[in-house]
Chain A
Amino acid sequence: EPEVTQTPSHQVTQMGQEVILRCVPISNHLYFYWYRQILGQKVEFLVSFYNNEISEKSEIFDDQFSVERPDGSNFTLKIRSTKLEDSAMYFCASSLTSEGWTGELFFGEGSRLTVL
């Protein structure tokens, strides 16, 4: 069964460091997403990506965040200068969605980021 894969599964970093989280969405999916879940809290939307550009982003997704699809398969989330409050589980997701129809979101297993 096709799946979304994420690396690393866990990353520990020092405050102020840059972090790149990687995702390989399901190959025929068109929409890609990053979500964040702080421990014990809800799943929060960060950004959606379609046709090689950001289609929507939340208030959380400020200038320290960026996304890229550098090579047609990987989808990355970069956090430029990490803060303590960036500690969370980051989920990548993809969906096969077209005009007038929305499919389910498929999630990767997540990348746990710990900022010290």
Chain B
Amino acid sequence: RKEVEQDPGPFNVPEGATVAFNCTYSNSASQSFFWYRQDCRKEPKLLMSVYSSGNEDGRFTAQLNRASQYISLLIRDSKLSDSATYLCVVNRVSGTYKYIFGTGTRLKVLA
């Protein structure tokens, strides 16, 4: 089983739609969780960290379920500019600090 798994998509949604992505991780010792956004042929950029209590940043909401080992990202009122690949990133501490990336979920917001 992969350490971090995501549905690769693509998710094609109309502008204004709400879309949700899930990510599962296999290592229960994972400690920190992030969503990154990657535009085509660019570097990943932090979208938001994911906290145990869940957190929101504008139209974006992230949730963490440690018992089920999954993380979610909800995007409300999708914009054309939200089209990108969303990467789930898990930090596993095992004497070192290693960030593991999921394959990413492609989102295309359609006009």
- Which residues in A have some Cβ–Cβ distance to B below 8 Å? 31, 33, 35, 41-45, 48, 50, 55-56, 89, 91, 93, 95, 97, 102, 104-110
Contact = CB atoms under 8 A, between A and B. Distances in A.
Interface of A is mostly: strand
A33 B104 CA distance: 19
Contact of A108 (B43, B89, B101): B43
Interface string B86-111: 01010101001111111110000000
Contact of A102 (B32, B44, B45, B103): B32
Contacts of B99: 33, 45, 93, 95, 105
Given A91-B43, A108-B43, A45 B100 contact: yes
Given A48-B96, A56-B96, A95-B97, A104 B102 contact: no
B49 interface: yes
Interface in B26-83: 31-32, 34, 36, 38, 41-46, 49
Nearest to A42: B103
Interface of B: 31-32, 34, 36, 38, 41-46, 49, 87, 89, 91, 93, 96-104
29 contacts: A42-B101, A42-B103, A42-B104, A43-B87, A44-B101, A45-B100, A48-B96, A48-B98, A50-B96, A55-B96, A55-B97, A56-B96, A89-B41, A93-B99, A95-B97, A102-B31, A102-B97, A104-B34, A104-B49, A105-B34, A105-B36, A105-B44, A105-B89, A107-B43, A107-B44, A108-B43, A109-B42, A109-B43, A110-B43
